[in-house]
A and B are shown apart, each in its own frame.
Chain A
Amino acid sequence: MSQAEVLRRVSPLWTFGLLRSELVTTFRRWRTLALLGVLAAVPILVGIAVKLETQDGAGPGRGDGGGGPAFIAQITNNGLFLVFTALAATLPFFLPMAIGVVAGDAIAGEASSGTLRYLLVAPAGRTRLLLTKYATVMTFCLVATMVVALSALTVGALLFPLGDLTTISGTQISFADGLGRALLIALVVAASLIGVAALGLFVSTMTSSGIAAMATTVGLLITVQILDQIPQLHALQPYFFSHYWLSFADLMRDPVYWDDLVKNLGLQVLYAAVFGSAAWARFTAKDITA
Chain B
Amino acid sequence: MKLVDYFVIPSVSSRSYKVWQRNKDVFMKDIKLNFLPPFLEPIMYLIALGFGLGKFIENIDGVPYAKFIAPALIAVSVMYAAFFECSYSSYVRMYYQKTFDAIIATPLTIEDVIAGELLWGATRSMINATVMIPVIAFFGLIDLKYSLLIIPFAFLGGLLFAAIGMCFTAITPNIMSLSYPILLFITPMFLFSGTFFPLSALPVPVQYFAIAFLPLTHMVNVIRAVSFGILSSSLLFDIVWILIASIILLILSINLMKKKLVV
Query: Is B a genuine binding partner of A?
Result: no
B interface residues with partner A (beta carbon < 8 Å): none
